[in-house]
Amino acid sequence: MILPPFLLHRPTTVDEAVDLAALHQEEGVSFLAGGTDLLPNWKNRLNNQPHLISLQSIPSLHDVESGKIGALATLHSLLGFSPLPQGLREAIEVVASPLIRTTATIGGNLLLDTRCHFFNQSPFWRATVGSCLKAEGPVCRVVPGANSCVATFSSDLAPLLMAMDATLSFVGPQGERSLPLRTFYQQDGIRRMVLKPGEILTTISWHDDPTLLTGYAKLRIREAWDFPLLGVGCAMGLCEGYLSNLSLFLGAVDSIPIEVPTESFLGEPLTDEAIEVIAKSAYARVKPMKNVGLTPSYRKRMVPVFVRRLLMRLRGDH
């Protein structure tokens, strides 16, 4: 497989990158971070563009400080950073493989494209079945008749960082802005998020709270390489056995992470019964599609199991 032809730009400042993007917007531009998601897709001729703007040479995007991380920080480098919330460490450690994590960035992970058996295929393969909505085709092959894409949200870091209520900062043609990650994704397998054309993700930040318990649980077939078939990110505040904070997000069961409501449990102890109710409500909220590994019914069945086990672990059970 060879990459399609493109022009590579290597700006050294964010402003320069934003200008370049605006300049070539008409023709088509993409930003390159680690490239571990973008380049395999381009090899498959999926949404490749004539201009590729590498963000690698912009020093400020690599900065890492406590609670504020440059979008270009590699997952591997973050593992060596302290303090790193435990849940974020757990999520990073289950992304892809150690080798890929030396290249993969945190920003790229949050902006990862959605995945589907009908989409992540070679041009030859797609031609044999006819393309789909997400690749300039007329219909969705997973839900015939649907007029939107239901490809699976596959970032491991997003559910956890949403549970931690992380904030994203961007620089774009209209200047800077910040957004809570929780409002960033949108229910559409193609557009996926509210990123504006030409906008660069610069930092990911969160309120550093050492008392916050965080954890991530992932369902996958193999202990390396595999994208999540279910991801559960959780942040929990426990004050003398009572819940002061609980947020729970499910990844890889929809086109965006799904929030499990937990407000009614705040101020209450996290009893087995409470965990069971939360697990059941998580189960009720998801409808996985038949477009990634294992059957949808199995993946759905695993939701309460993984939620329950994670909550018990964070509560301190063994």
- Provide the binding-site residues for ligand FAD, judged by CB under 6 A: 30-38, 40, 55, 71, 75, 95-96, 100, 103-105, 107-109, 111-112, 154-156, 200-201, 225-228
Does residue 142 belong to the site contacting ligand SF4 (CB under 6 A)?
yes
* DSSP string for residues in 242-303: EEEEEEEEEESSSSS-EEEP-GGGTTSB--HHHHHHHHHHHHHH----TTSSS-HHHHHHHH
Among 227, 291, 314, 315, binds ligand SF4 (CB under 6 A): 291
| H or E segment and range at residue 40 | helix 38-43
- Cα separation of 224 and 82, whole Å? 24
The distance of closest approach from Cβ of residue 195 to ligand SF4 in the complex, given in angstroms and rounded to an integer, is 18
Neighbouring residues of 127: CB distance < 8 A, sequence distance ≥ 6: none
CB closer to ligand SF4, 57 vs 148: 148
Neighbouring residues of 221: CB distance < 8 A, sequence distance ≥ 6: 229, 293, 294
Does residue 226 belong to the site contacting other proteins (CB under 8 A)?
yes
CB closer to ligand SF4, 95 vs 292: 292
Does residue 207 belong to the site contacting other proteins (CB under 8 A)?
no
- Cα separation of 290 and 294, whole Å? 8
Does residue 224 belong to the site contacting other proteins (CB under 8 A)?
yes
The distance of closest approach from Cβ of residue 281 to other proteins in the complex, given in angstroms and rounded to an integer, is 19
The distance of closest approach from Cβ of residue 40 to ligand FAD in the complex, given in angstroms and rounded to an integer, is 5
Dihedrals phi, psi of 201, to nearest 5 degrees: -75, 125
CB closer to ligand FAD, 101 vs 141: 101
The distance of closest approach from Cβ of residue 308 to ligand FAD in the complex, given in angstroms and rounded to an integer, is 23
Does residue 122 belong to the site contacting other proteins (CB under 8 A)?
yes
Dihedral sign for Cα atoms in the order 286, 150, 119, 106: negative
Judge residue 130's burial from the number of C-beta atoms within 10 Å of its C-beta, 0-12 exposed, 13-18 middle, 19 or more buried: exposed
CB closer to ligand SF4, 136 vs 317: 136
Does residue 124 belong to the site contacting other proteins (CB under 8 A)?
yes
Among 108, 189, 233, 293, binds ligand SF4 (CB under 6 A): 189
Closest residue to ligand FAD, judged by C-beta, is 108
Does residue 119 belong to the site contacting ligand SF4 (CB under 6 A)?
yes
Judge residue 85's burial from the number of C-beta atoms within 10 Å of its C-beta, 0-12 exposed, 13-18 middle, 19 or more buried: buried
CB closer to ligand FAD, 104 vs 314: 104
> Which pairing describes strands 213-219 and 230-239: parallel, antiparallel, or unpaired?
antiparallel
Q: Binds 105, which of ligand SF4, ligand FAD, other proteins, none (CB < 5 to 8 A, cut-off by type)?
A: ligand FAD
Q: Binds 33, which of ligand SF4, ligand FAD, other proteins, none (CB < 5 to 8 A, cut-off by type)?
A: ligand FAD
Tell me if 53 sits within 8 A of 31, measured CB to CB: yes
Stretch that binds other proteins, among 9-17, 29-37, 123-131, 195-203 (CB under 8 A): 123-131
In DSSP terms, which residues pair with 65 in a beta bridge? 68
SS3 26: coil
Residues that bind ligand SF4 (CB under 6 A): 116, 118-119, 132-134, 140-142, 149-151, 189, 291
